[in-house]
Amino acid sequence: MAYNFSNYHAFIANVDRRAEALEELHKTHMKCKKGCDLCCMNYQIFPVEYFAIEQALKVKAAETMESTNGSCVFLKNHYCQIYESRPFICRTHGLPLLFMNDEQWELSVCELNFTEFDDEEFSEENTLLQDKFNSELFLLNKQFIADNKLNFSEFDLLEMKDLHRD
Ligand code: SF4
C-alpha cells in the first residue's frame, strides 16, 4: 500500500531546521561526529515513522543488523544506514532537550557535548522543546492512522528492530 507521508515529511523538515539552528547556536559545545553511536538504540516509534522508514527502504536498500544489547538494527560499523530517513528521536541526538516529566521540567543533555556549560544557562530559547514536537507527531500519527484505516490506536508504538530484514 502506498501511503502519503507529506505531513510527516513537513514535520521532519521543521525538526531539522530547529535542530540545525540549535547545533549552530551550541557549535562550540557540540562534539557529535560521525562514528559516535551512543544514542543509537532500538527505539519504539509511531506507525507513521515506521511505515515512512519501511517505504524509504524500498527505494534505497539498507543493510540491517541483528539488534544486540538493544542496539539499533540500522547501526553498522558505528554508522547509521538510514541517516536521511531516521526518525524524529534520532534527529534530536546530542541536543539539549527540555520536556515535562511528572509535572516538572526536565533537561536532557549529552554529557559528551556540554562539558563546560552551566545548566542555569539553558532556556526555552536554546533547547529543543521536545513536548511540542512530540505533540505534533502524536497528532499527525493519529491522522495518518485514521486516513489509512490502520488497525492501531493512537498510543501504539512499533519497534524499529522489526524493520530488520535478513
Ligand atoms: S536510525 Fe540511525 S540514528 Fe537512529 S538509532 Fe538507528 S542507527 Fe542511530
Q: pTM, whole model, 2 decimals? A: 0.92
- Whether residue 66 is contained in a domain is answered as yes
- Whether residue 102 is contained in a domain is answered as yes
- Whether residue 49 is contained in a domain is answered as yes
- Tell how far the Cα of 76 is from the centroid of ligand 1, in angstroms: 10
Residue with CA closest to ligand 1 atom 4:
90
Who's near 113: CB < 8 A, 6+ residues apart?
Answer: 26, 29, 30, 31, 32, 94
Q: Mark out the alpha helices in the chain (DSSP H runs).
A: 6-25, 47-59, 88-91, 130-147
Q: What is the pLDDT of residue 60?
A: 79
**What are the tens digits of pLDDT across the range 22-61?**
999 999 999 888 889 989 999 999 999 999 999 999 887 7
- Whether residue 1 is contained in a domain is answered as no
Q: What is the pLDDT of residue 11?
A: 98
Q: Based on the structure, what is the number of domains in the chain? A: 1
74 within ligand 1 shell (Cβ under 6 A) = yes
- Whether residue 31 is contained in a domain is answered as yes
- Whether residue 57 is contained in a domain is answered as yes
- Tell how far the Cα of 56 is from the centroid of ligand 1, in angstroms: 14
| Domain around 57 | 6-163
- Tell how far the Cα of 160 is from the centroid of ligand 1, in angstroms: 9
Q: What is the pLDDT of residue 117?
A: 79
Q: What is the pLDDT of residue 92?
A: 95
Which has more pLDDT, 100 or 69?
A: 100
